[in-house]
Amino acid sequence: MSDNVLKKEFRESDVQRVRNIVNKDYTAKTKSQTGYQKASKRYKEGDVWEEGGRQWTIKNGVKQNITKLDSAKKAVRMPLACPKCGQAMKHRFDKKTYKIHGFCFDCTLEYEAELRKAGLYKKYEAEMINGNMDGFAKDLTAWVEEYAAYQHNYVTEQGVIEDWKGDSKKQNEKVMNNLKEFLEVLNKHKK
Ligand SMILES: [Zn+2]
């Protein structure tokens, strides 16, 4: 057998079969111990790929869903104390409300009570169901700023604040100031 004939008969598929035998990977279906195979692709530590509409990676030699890893990271990032009130975040709903707003469950109840007073709760609830908290925070920021601007104009035009609307005005200002505080934490949390 001449060299040329040998080259011709020793095709790519043969090379691959020999490689598989060397790797103790006798059939294409055989899973290796150190990697995962999909559509004849072998993945190694740190690789990221998509499979079944999800993102996967190999971490510590184990195939893992990236979405799960991400949420695990987020859970670790939750501080021990609430950034708004400073209380320990140990209520079973704290994790959930922290993820959404950036403050604890108690603060969320307070926040929602303030929104009710300002007549914004229905809008808030609807946006929450739609998962549009960012949009709601933007609207609320604009609303609080508008209110502050209106107050400012009122003071410069009329000179006296307390004479008009009295207690309800004080009440409104308190609600606005509280909402502003909540917004500060909310907006910091989103960044
Ligand atoms: Zn709190």
Give the span between the Cα atoms of 143 and 43, in whole angstroms. Answer: 51
At 3-55, the pLDDT tens digits run 555 555 556 666 666 666 666 555 544 444 445 444 557 888 888 888 877 88
pLDDT of residue 172: 79
Residue 82 sits at φ, ψ, to 5 deg, of: -70, 130
At 81-140, the pLDDT tens digits run 999 999 999 999 999 899 889 999 999 999 999 999 888 999 999 998 888 888 899 989
> In terms of residues, how long is the chain?
191
Residue 126 sits at φ, ψ, to 5 deg, of: -65, -40
Give the span between the Cα atoms of 27 and 74, in whole angstroms. Answer: 41
DSSP SS3 for 88:
strand
Ligand 1 mean position to 105 CA, how many Å? 7
Ligand 1 mean position to 137 CA, how many Å? 18
DSSP SS3 for 127:
helix
> Which residues surround the ion ligand 1 when the cut-off is CB under 5 Å?
82, 84-85, 103-104, 107
The model's pTM is: 0.54
